[in-house]
């Protein structure tokens, strides 16, 4: 509401034209166009406000969420009023670093073609009942591909008019609000806390194999994180803490060439090592396959070579005898 009022004030007072939103209550925003934008994507997707919910969550069509590159996993997301972007977006305001460009609506997609979004959205079931055969098949642990023929999913409607509407559901409710108004993901602050919660949840669910979950966490998050930071560390630049001058390599004098101040690293040892212990703990507590365990151990060896435990000022030839 505040942004809508700001936009109206901008239009009338700054541009000298008529107000656009003219809202008095929050419900006056219903029907207006918004732009959904997920972090690090740069492409905003147009949507329309159809209501509000008292939770820190944005409910929308799976097609819309998928177009934003969100897979409904409770990660960060944002919406903006379209008129706000038309009036106030400019490349002139953006920071010149790549990070500043990543969270800005550089492009806006007005229409989404359902066949162009991610596969996950196509696999959402939109039937109002599951046939008895489905339950029998699930009891016999049959493959999903064997039972999907009897259930309506988004994929089957692609190219037809009802690919956009008439999505059904199996259970009615008079309230789609959740008991929790915030996702734990946004409350837990450290990676360790989030991981601990993920482990305890995985252990509670019979259908989830906690060892497999931890292997995935290692493969998709922790290992790439350590390797990425290791690469960043060894190719890092140096910065002057006083005048801010940056150096691609450490100058031979070892100090700032502008003001003779000491230089500091832009990537620290702590950044590289922060998840190593977590990775080692996971390997000892869970059944992680040998290949993955070896990769972690190799990384640890690599790090111990990079960061000498007892730093000596200068090696002498005697050290190597």
Binding residue (CB under 5 A) for Zn ion from 5, 236, 245, 271? 245
Smallest distance, Å, CB 236 to Zn ion? 17
Give the relative orientation of helices 276-285 and 290-306 as an angle to the nearest 10 degrees: 150
Smallest distance, Å, CB 257 to Zn ion? 8
Smallest distance, Å, CB 252 to Zn ion? 16
Smallest distance, Å, CB 242 to Zn ion? 5
Smallest distance, Å, CB 261 to Zn ion? 4
How many CA atoms, within 13 angstroms, populate the side-chain half-sphere of residue 114?
20
Give the neighbor-by-neighbor strand order of the sheet with 107-109.
79-81, 33-36, 43-48, 107-109
The residue range among 53-61, 201-209, 243-251, 273-281 that interacts with Zn ion, by the rule CB under 5 A, is 243-251
Question: CB–CB of 216/199 below 8 Å?
Answer: no
263 near Zn ion, judged by CB under 5 A: no
d(CA 229, CA 236): 10
Binding residue (CB under 5 A) for Zn ion from 144, 201, 261, 304? 261
User: Beta strand 263-265 with 238-240: parallel, antiparallel or unpaired?
Assistant: antiparallel
The residue range among 142-150, 182-190, 201-209, 255-263 that interacts with Zn ion, by the rule CB under 5 A, is 255-263
Smallest distance, Å, CB 240 to Zn ion? 3
262 near Zn ion, judged by CB under 5 A: no
Spatial neighbors of 262 by CB under 8 A, at least 6 apart, are 240, 241, 255, 256
- What are the Cα distances from residue 163, in Å, to 100, 156, 307? 36, 8, 56
Give Cα 245 distance to the centre of its chain.
32
259 near Zn ion, judged by CB under 5 A: yes
Question: CB–CB of 264/275 below 8 Å?
Answer: no
DSSP single-letter state for residue 253: T
266 near Zn ion, judged by CB under 5 A: no
240 near Zn ion, judged by CB under 5 A: yes
Question: CB–CB of 235/215 below 8 Å?
Answer: no
Smallest distance, Å, CB 269 to Zn ion? 23
257 near Zn ion, judged by CB under 5 A: no
Taken in order 203, 209, 211, 212, is the CA torsion positive or negative? negative
The residue range among 10-18, 51-59, 214-222, 238-246 that interacts with Zn ion, by the rule CB under 5 A, is 238-246
The residue range among 100-108, 134-142, 256-264, 275-283 that interacts with Zn ion, by the rule CB under 5 A, is 256-264
The residue range among 57-65, 75-83, 140-148, 233-241 that interacts with Zn ion, by the rule CB under 5 A, is 233-241
In the bound state with Zn ion, the residue whose beta carbon lies nearer, of 260 and 304, is 260
256 near Zn ion, judged by CB under 5 A: yes
Question: CB–CB of 120/57 below 8 Å?
Answer: no
Q: Which tokens go with 296?
A: 């972690």
243 near Zn ion, judged by CB under 5 A: yes
258 near Zn ion, judged by CB under 5 A: yes
Q: Which tokens go with 218?
A: 């290692």
- The shares of helix, strand and coil residues in the chain, as percent rounded to the nearest 5, are 45, 10, 45
Q: Which of residues 55-114 bind Zn ion (CB under 5 A)?
A: none
Residues near Zn ion (CB under 5 A): 240, 242-243, 245, 256, 258-259, 261
């Amino acid at each position: 509401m505040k942004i809508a009022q700001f936009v109206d004030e901008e239009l009338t007072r700054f541009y000298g034209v008529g107000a656009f939103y003219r809202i008095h209550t929050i419900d006056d925003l219903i029907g207006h166009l918004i732009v959904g934008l997920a972090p690090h994507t740069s492409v905003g997707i147009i949507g329309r406000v159809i209501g509000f919910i008292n939770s820190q969550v944005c409910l929308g069509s799976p097609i819309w969420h998928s177009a934003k590159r969100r897979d409904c996993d409770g990660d960060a997301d944002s919406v903006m009023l379209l008129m706000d972007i038309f009036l106030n977006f400019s490349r002139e305001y953006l920071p010149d670093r790549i990070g500043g460009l990543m969270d800005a609506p550089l492009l806006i997609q007005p229409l989404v073609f359902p066949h162009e979004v991610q596969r996950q959205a196509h696999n959402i079931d939109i039937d109002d009942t599951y046939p008895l055969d489905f339950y029998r098949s699930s009891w016999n642990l049959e493959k999903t591909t064997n039972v999907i023929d009897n259930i309506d999913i988004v994929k089957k409607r692609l190219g037809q008019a009802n690919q956009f509407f008439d999505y059904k559901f199996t259970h009615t409710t008079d309230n789609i609000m959740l008991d929790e108004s915030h996702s734990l993901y946004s409350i837990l602050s450290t990676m360790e806390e989030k991981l601990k919660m993920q482990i305890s949840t995985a252990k509670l669910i019979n259908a989830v194999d906690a060892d497999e979950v931890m292997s995935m966490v290692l493969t998709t998050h922790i290992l790439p994180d350590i390797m990425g930071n290791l690469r960043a560390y060894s190719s890092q630049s140096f910065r002057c803490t006083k005048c801010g001058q940056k150096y691609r390599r450490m100058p031979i004098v070892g100090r700032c060439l502008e003001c003779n101040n000491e230089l500091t690293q832009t990537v620290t040892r702590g950044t590289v090592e922060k998840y190593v212990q977590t990775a080692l703990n996971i390997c000892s507590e869970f059944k992680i396959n040998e290949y993955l365990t070896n990769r972690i151990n190799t990384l640890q060896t690599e790090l111990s070579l990079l960061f000498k435990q007892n730093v000596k000022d200068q090696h002498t030839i005697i050290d190597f005898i």
